[in-house]
Amino acid sequence: MTNVFDTLEKRGYVEQLTHPEEIKKLFEKESVRFYIGIDPTADSLHVGHFISLMVASHMQKAGHKPIILMGGGTAVIGDPSGKTDMRKMLTIEDIDNNVASIKKQIEKFLSLEGENAAIIVNNADWLRDLKYLEFMRNVGVHFSVNKMLAAECYKNRLETGLTFFELGYMLMQSYDFLYLHDNYDCKLQMGGNDQWSNIIGGVDLIRKIGADDSYGFTFKLLTTKEGKKMGKTEKGALWLNPEKTSPYEFYQYWRNVADDDIENVMKLLTFIDVDKIEELTKYKDERINEAKKIAAYEITKLVHGKEEAKKAEEATMAMFEGKGNVDTMEETKIDGNISIVDAIVTSGIVNSKGQAKTLISQGAITLNDKKIDDISYMLQDSDFQAGYAILKKGKKIYHKLVK
RNA sequence: GGGUAGGUGGUCGAGUGGUUAAUGGCACCAGACUGUAAAUCUGGCCGCGAGAGCGUACGAUGGUUCGAAUCCAUCCCUGCCCA
């Protein structure tokens, strides 16, 4: 059996390791309990968390045991790493709600049953009742402020301001690792590369307290070749929750990634064999679109299930290649013959009438393939001859209107 | 606690009494070109209104003024220096 480490490395996940040799050996020697933390700062995960879950899934498939740590306790503070400003503070109720809805998404990636079932824990369970004095004595003493301030993630904060409150984040995350190490036999913490400082904080803490079996592992963040973060859209982040980002939009996002990024995306966000990916992405002309289709389908399938992925794919074919089925298109029920502007807004294609008008005047809106250039156009019965009307924004966004 | 510099639209950052819904960059959307790609060029990017326009907005609340993001007062928050 191949070492997961090789798999992860081959697919390009690996960024930094605290103990490269030991970690590789550990993976071979035993079924390792590892943890990945997720901060419940929204009621849905977004693509940034996607890689974490992929890594966890690869690990689980290789026989290791994932612990997903929901940061129900630490989210109260907000991780200052890489942020220029302090995050907005969330109420405890918000966080608890978020934790509940995120759990459902995690279940799609990890098996919660069987011998190496994933477990989901919430650090609120141990952090909220923490006694300050005890914590300072047992944990606080092991942290050198000098060292912390030298860390890259706090450096830029030194200029804009950093509160003690936020500085405490590292201690809490480190304590999480210690807690999981002692209570769940967790030996490895994994996370995005922005978590490096926090992760080594935990690894060092455990080692200072006396154990020598703690390790850290960070993986790449999902960025474009130009180094920009991926997953931004007009409406904000690309969410994994279908109510926030529809499966079709989600599919389209991946269908449209840049040529330069497709190989990376496939390796990181699908389970397709690496050799196959390289084969698919070696082209420099339109043949690379084949890879994008496969990537979009596979990624959507992972997040929304086979059925939704199929629907998104069929809707795409219907729209872009003139085959397939309009039934799969997202649809909105319209009340009577409203104006085109209202139709655009109620379908959710854009957020305001102003935007709808702008688009019309730019020639971006078509109805049943007829360009609409009149802002005051009213929908008519003749627009629904097939029982529906197809509203199109730009070249890529379609919506079905029914009465 | 004292001194000092600040708080501007999704973000970064100009503006320092009227022509400022507020220059510019980034992000994002659309048009052209293409391969539903990138790069490039063009247009857009607070809300409502067909439009003239109206409403909201420059940390908060009051005030001065015909008129304020810009001036004054109080408060809140942040940086830096001193203690």
CATH class of the region A232-328:
mainly alpha
pLDDT in tens, chain A (403 residues): 578 999 999 999 999 999 999 999 999 999 999 999 988 777 778 887 888 999 999 999 999 999 999 888 776 655 544 443 334 455 667 777 888 888 888 988 999 988 899 999 999 899 888 898 899 889 989 988 888 877 776 766 666 667 777 778 888 899 999 999 999 999 999 998 888 888 999 999 999 998 899 999 999 888 777 667 777 776 667 888 888 888 888 999 999 888 888 999 999 999 999 999 999 999 988 899 999 999 999 999 999 999 999 988 988 887 787 655 667 777 888 877 888 999 898 888 888 888 899 999 888 998 888 888 888 888 888 888 888 888 888 888 888 888 8
Yes or no: say if A112 and A106 are a contact pair by the CB < 8 Å rule. Answer: no
- What's residue A19's pLDDT? 94
Protein CA at A342 to nucleotide C1' at B48, angstroms: 13
Å between CA of A362 and C1' of B66: 41
CB of A221 within 8 A of CB of A49? no
- Of the CATH numbers 3.20.10.10, 3.40.50.300, 2.60.120.10, 3.10.290.10, which one belongs to the domain with range A331-402? 3.10.290.10
Catalytic residue from among A147, A232, A235, A370: A232
Alpha helices in A281-325 (DSSP H): 288-304, 306-316
A310 in catalytic set = no
Integer distance in angstroms from CA A135 to C1' B42?
Answer: 60
- Note the pLDDT of residue A382: 87
> What pLDDT does residue A87 have?
41
Active site residue A83: yes
Q: How far apart are CA A401 and CA A99, in angstroms?
A: 35
CA distances from A166 to A49, A134, A173, A310 (A): 22, 19, 11, 44
Structure tokens belonging to residue A345: 């807004």
pLDDT of the residue at A239: 82
Q: Which tens digit of pLDDT belongs to each residue from A345-360? A: 888 888 888 889 999 9
pLDDT for A323 equals: 56
ipTM: 0.81
Show which positions of strand B are touched by protein (CB under 7 A).
Answer: 11-12, 27-32, 34-39, 43-51, 78-80
CA A125 to C1' B19, whole Å = 61
> Which tens digit of pLDDT belongs to each residue from A118-141?
999 999 899 888 898 899 889 989
| Residue A87 known to be catalytic | yes
Q: What is the C-alpha separation between A224 and A152, in angstroms, rounded?
A: 22
SS3 state of residue A304: helix
Per-residue model confidence (pLDDT) at position A84? 38
- A41 flagged as catalytic: yes
Kindly name the residue from A128, A155, A229, A287 that is annotated as catalytic. A229
**Total-model pTM:** 0.84
Contact A270, A298 (CB under 8 A): yes
Where in chain A are all domains bearing CATH 3.40.50.620? 4-219
CATH number listed for the domain at residues A4-219: 3.40.50.620
A306 is catalytic: no
CA nearest to nucleotide B50 C1': residue: A376
